[in-house]
Structure 1
Amino acid sequence: MPDRDARPISEPRPSVAGSAPIVARRRAAMTVLVDASAPDIAARLGALSVPPHETVRPPEVGLVMVQGRIGGDGAPFNVGEATVTRAAVRLASGEMGVSCVLGRDPEKARLVALCDAMMQADLAPAVEQEVVAPLRANLLEAQMLCESRTAATRVDFFTLVRGED
């Protein structure tokens, strides 16, 4: 079976312990980036000097099968299909970023893959500060607004018990 890791043999693989903070940082960034819009990501990336990069896999739209479970622990069943767009970008320094976002948005998939690659490079703190943190704040603000609107429509039901024995 061929090795899925495309590194040259002379380059050592990162240890699991050494890569854990990088993986956690990328996962947190991707959680924010996939929920943000392409124009928002592009505007935030405009504040950074984006390093030279190449498109390894141009954005392509496809379908994935969505599965669900009854009660969270039942047998999985197919709910339906969802449209996704995926892309891969490689920086000139060798870091490769990938993305798979819901919907048909090739530009968003490309930008998220670019951010993912930059999160693996020395640019990670700058990407976190200039791109991810402001987008996270915007998403949290939108979520709080939605929750406050929902709370305004909340109805509390109560039952009066009659005193009969």
Structure 2
Amino acid sequence: MSSSQPHDDLQLQKRRQSAMAVLAHSDVDAIAQKLTPLALPAYENLREAENGLVMMRGRVGGDGAPFNLGEATVSRAAVRLPSGEVGFGYVLGRDRRKAELIALCDALLQSGAHGAAVERDIIAPLRTQMLDARRDRAAETAATRVDFYTMVRGEG
């Protein structure tokens, strides 16, 4: 085992986490559109995309006793590339196609043959769109901001 292996694994894990955050916040049609021009390998569904429920837990104040907040609908999928990389996709809501596309992107991102192209052609443009949309919403919100202040009157 080389000394750079743990560093490489950590770097890949951070890259995957960042990509999953972008993909989860992206529209399924945008993801599919970005995947279309790539020469995608055939892949095997390890877990057919399916819908289910997860229990959401909460804590009062961040450090209080945990409690069951409620259930949320999720979709999940798992795929394997012919080269062996396994990708997982989880998304809030009932969108099995999006979960499958996220799993495919996750697997491709780990692939030496496709990782750079996925980062460049899919993740980076979707990240830019996501950040632009956030900036636009923040500007819209800031335009309606009202600053309140208290005037101190002298009572004499």
| TM norm structure 1 | 0.88
Shift of 1:153: 1.3
Structure 2: distance between partners of 1:25 and 1:100: 16
- Residue 94 of structure 2 is aligned to residue 128 of structure 1: no
- Tell me the residue number matched to 1:34: 24
Helix, strand or coil at the partner of 1:156? coil
Cα distance in 1, alignment partners of residues 79 and 18 from structure 2:
19
CA distance in 2, matches of 1:148, 1:18: 38
Instruction: Give, as a single letter, the amino acid of the residue that structure 2 aligns with 1:121.
Output: S
Q: Tell me by how many angstroms 1:17 deviates.
A: 3.1
Structure 1 residue 161 and structure 2 residue 152: aligned?
Answer: yes
Tell whether the 8 Å contact from 1:85 to 1:102 is kept in structure 2 after alignment.
Answer: yes
Distance (Å, rounded) in 2 between the aligned partners of 1:134 and 1:15:
29
Instruction: State the AA in 1 paired with 2:72.
Output: A
1:60 aligns with one of 22, 47, 50: 50
Q: 2:68 aligns with which of 54, 73, 78?
A: 78
Shift of 1:15: 4.5
Q: Following TM superposition, by how much is the alpha carbon of 1:45 offset from its aligned partner in structure 2, in angstroms?
A: 0.5
Deviation string 1:98-119 (CA, Å, 9 cap, x unpaired) is 1111000010000000000001
CA distance in 1, matches of 2:14, 2:115: 12
> In structure 2, what is the Cα distance between the partners aligned to 1:35 and 1:113?
14
Unaligned runs of 5+ in 1: 1-13
Match of 2:83 in 1: 93
Residue of structure 1 equivalent to 2:130: 139
CA RMSD of aligned residues (A): 1.3
Match of 1:151 in 2: 142
After superposition, the C-alpha distances for 1:62-114 in whole angstroms (9 at most, x for unaligned) are 00011111122211111110000000000000000011110000100000000
Q: Which moved more, 1:72-81 or 1:91-100?
A: 72-81
Which residue among 56, 59, 64 is the counterpart of 1:69?
59
- TM-score by length of structure 2 reads 0.93
Equivalent residue of 1:78, what SS? strand
**Alignment-mate amino acid for residue 69 of structure 2:** V
1:136 to partner: Cα distance = 0.5
In structure 2, what residue type is equivalent to 1:74? G
One-letter amino acid of the structure 1 residue matched with residue 105 of structure 2: C
Sequence identity percentage: 52
